[in-house]
């Protein structure tokens, strides 16, 4: 693997007549990358587009999108040769990168203490961050239960929202859009082919927080398509970390956390737009509560939703909605099982996962009998413990394998007072 000294964030190219945006990056001004974004031709732009506003927004987005390429070979120095960052922004971005790349650094055993040092070549200049936008809503959707719940809650409150799909429309998203009948915007993303090529050549690879990239890009979408409200479906459980490196929390879901939401909202208001609003509709709810909403009120979506990341990724998509072998599949099974019948369980997952002996190690991590919380978008550990305990308590005899294992290794150790405390915390 070739070593590089400096990563460069170059000026972003765009052509609104061709509906394209191109982000440009390089290592040492030698290994170049171009990422192409194709805008949605089915929706008209606002009529009063201002070039300086467009370039300011795209400048900030470019500082987010470079993470996919930087992680190939993380360098100590980062040069922004497309604009200026003040001291507050520099500290903000360095802090965010450590948080966003925390899992990547942890899993690749990289010492990040001296990484992400910014410099720039442009002189600072004032940019107008105030512009009018219409009172319209954008709702990013994945076809997961959270975005489905948000969509339906907005409808119940007579709020019309445009669904937003970033990247490809896979079978899960298409099924949801077919059933939802809401208008939608689709922005296509084309990674530079050299990224996957270098990944295959033993350069570093790892988790990129897609919610973070979408969050930043939506500020541009709001401006050119004239929307005010960005409404995500991130919940309270996303605040829970997975592990620590020294005093640094490593949280797979950091870009879904309240800390990220609050800091990003402040950054947008200060440097991008005083008029665009960024929030999460489900922020006050735990995963347990969202699962209850979904299972009790919107069963017609059982046939179209999925949360499996293994079957739906950058390089893979399939008609099979669940792999039944990953943390997300087991987590969603556990959280829905108390609310659904055996027939509904088979309809969604086509098997009872509590019977699977081969899932014991993964199950142990999810309920924290051993290991660390899986690096996936899963609930708080205490939620998992409580929900498995409630499933266990509802059965008398003939426990399935994983519930018997839980009873032996966990529920007999913690007393009733512990679980009563958890029931109060999660309003169960």
- What are the residues whose beta carbons fall under 8 Å from the beta carbon of 366, sequence distance 6 or more? 327, 330, 331, 334, 373, 374, 378, 381, 384
pLDDT confidence bin for 371, thresholds 50/70/90: low
CA distance 160 to 148: 14
CA distance 417 to 423: 10
pLDDT confidence bin for 183, thresholds 50/70/90: confident
Count CB neighbours of 52 within 10 A: 11
Average pLDDT of span 299-318: 70
Share of the chain above pLDDT 70, in %: 91
Domain boundaries, the chain: 6-131+184-280, 306-425
Share of the chain above pLDDT 90, in %: 40
Output phi, psi for 261, to 5 deg.
-60, -45
CA distance 329 to 310: 9
Is residue 267 within 8 A of residue 221, CB to CB? The reply is: no
CA distance 284 to 191: 35
Is the Cα torsion angle 65, 67, 68, 74 positive or negative in sign?
Answer: positive
CA–CA distance from 103 to each of 108, 160, 210, 342, 373 (Å)? 8, 36, 13, 36, 12
pLDDT digits (tens, 9 = 90+) for 403-417: 999 888 876 667 778
pLDDT confidence bin for 367, thresholds 50/70/90: confident
pLDDT digits (tens, 9 = 90+) for 22-81: 999 999 999 999 999 999 988 999 999 999 999 999 999 999 999 899 999 999 999 998
Burial group, residue 129, by CB count within 10 angstroms (0-12, 13-18, 19+): middle
- Does the pLDDT of residue 383 top 90, yes or no? no
For strands 137-140 and 161-166, give the pairing.
Answer: parallel
The answer to which of 48-52, 95-99, 149-153 has the lowest mean pLDDT is 95-99
Is the Cα torsion angle 397, 424, 247, 207 positive or negative in sign?
Answer: positive
């Amino acid at each position: 693997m070739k070593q590089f000294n400096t990563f460069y964030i170059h000026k972003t190219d765009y052509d609104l007549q061709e509906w394209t945006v191109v982000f440009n990056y390089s290592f040492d001004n030698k290994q170049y990358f171009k990422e192409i974004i194709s805008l949605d031709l089915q929706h008209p732009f606002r009529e009063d587009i201002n070039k300086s506003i467009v370039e300011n927004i795209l400048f900030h987005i470019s500082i987010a999108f470079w993470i996919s390429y930087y992680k190939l070979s993380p360098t100590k120095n980062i040069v922004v040769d497309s604009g200026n960052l003040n001291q507050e922004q520099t500290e903000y971005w360095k802090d965010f990168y450590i948080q966003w790349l925390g899992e990547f650094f942890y899993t690749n055993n990289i010492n990040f203490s001296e990484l992400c040092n910014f410099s720039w070549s442009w002189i600072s200049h004032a940019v107008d961050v105030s512009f009018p936008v219409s009172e319209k809503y954008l709702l990013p959707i994945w076809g997961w239960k959270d975005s489905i719940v948000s969509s339906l809650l907005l409808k119940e409150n007579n709020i019309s929202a445009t669904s937003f799909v970033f990247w490809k429309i896979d079978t899960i998203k298409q099924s949801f859009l077919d059933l939802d009948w809401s208008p939608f915007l689709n922005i296509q993303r084309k990674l530079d082919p050299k990224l996957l090529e270098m990944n295959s050549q033993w350069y570093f690879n790892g988790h990129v927080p897609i919610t973070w990239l979408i969050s930043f890009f939506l500020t541009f979408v709001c401006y050119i398509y004239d929307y005010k409200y960005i409404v995500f479906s991130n919940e309270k459980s996303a605040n829970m970390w997975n592990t620590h490196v020294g005093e640094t929390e490593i949280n797979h879901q950091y870009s879904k956390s309240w800390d990220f939401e609050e800091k990003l909202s402040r950054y947008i208001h200060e440097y991008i737009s005083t008029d665009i609003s960024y929030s999460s509709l489900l922020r006050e709810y735990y995963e347990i509560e969202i699962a209850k909403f979904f299972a009790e009120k919107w069963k017609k979506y059982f046939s179209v939703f999925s949360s499996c990341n293994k079957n739906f990724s950058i390089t893979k998509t399939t008609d099979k909605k669940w792999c039944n072998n990953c943390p997300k599949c087991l987590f969603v099974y556990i959280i829905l099982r108390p609310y659904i019948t055996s027939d509904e369980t088979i309809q969604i997952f086509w098997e009872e996962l509590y019977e699977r002996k081969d899932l014991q190690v993964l199950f142990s991590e999810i309920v924290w009998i051993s290991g660390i919380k899986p690096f996936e978008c899963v609930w708080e550990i205490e939620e998992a413990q409580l929900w498995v305990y409630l499933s266990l308590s509802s059965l008398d005899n003939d426990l399935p394998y994983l519930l018997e294992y839980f009873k032996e290794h966990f529920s007999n150790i913690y007393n009733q007072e512990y679980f009563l405390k958890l029931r109060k915390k999660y309003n169960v």
